[in-house]
Amino acid sequence: MNHYHYTTYARRPDLMEAARRVNGSVWPEFMFHDAVADRLWDRLEGTLADYQTLWFGENERVVAVGNTVPLVWDGALDQLPIGWDDAFERAVNDYDAGREPTTLCAIQATVDRSLQGNGLSRMVLRGMRQRAAEAGLPTLIAPVRPTLKSQYPLTPMERYMLWTQPDGSPFDPWLRTHWR
């Protein structure tokens, strides 16, 4: 995986459109109708562009994207954001209020569909940790959204989260990546 180069939207705004295509090609349709994302997503490409990572290879083809937001979190478990949308709102509010962030929070990690299953998601997570360190943020948190849950709409999330493979690892591939 050393043949991929890491950068941020702020450093390479010319690659943002390609990053949008990678993000847009991966998610199920319902993901494109979220009130928080609709209201705040442009902040990722504007005021928070330095926290949006991407990887590109030959011919500057973007292969993966890691969207994160810096926020204030005191380390208390009961103060964790409820989910990515809560984290996103808190981050924007913190930024607008001029509060110094203490934590980087993952919003999403996407890998070009044609390259999924090749370990690139771990590269994205490592890049998020690297970006946190570069920004002087000692903690990376990640509200995890199972990637296959939408294929089982009648199964309650509480039950889906307990599904495992024969080796005991989580059934869902994204949960399995974090579990490893």
The DSSP secondary-structure symbol of 56 reads E
**How much is the average pLDDT of 127-151?**
92
Predicted TM-score (pTM) of the model is 0.82
Beta bridge pairs of residue 23: none
Q: What is the residue-averaged pLDDT of the chain?
A: 90
pLDDT tens-digit readout, 14-25: 999 999 898 877
pLDDT tens-digit readout, 39-76: 888 999 999 999 999 999 888 999 999 999 999 999 99
In Å, what is the CA distance from 15 to each residue of 18, 49, 57, 74, 125? 5, 12, 12, 34, 20
30 pLDDT tier (thresholds 50, 70, 90):
low
**How much is the average pLDDT of 85-111?**
95
31 pLDDT tier (thresholds 50, 70, 90):
low
Is 173 a residue whose pLDDT tops 90?
no
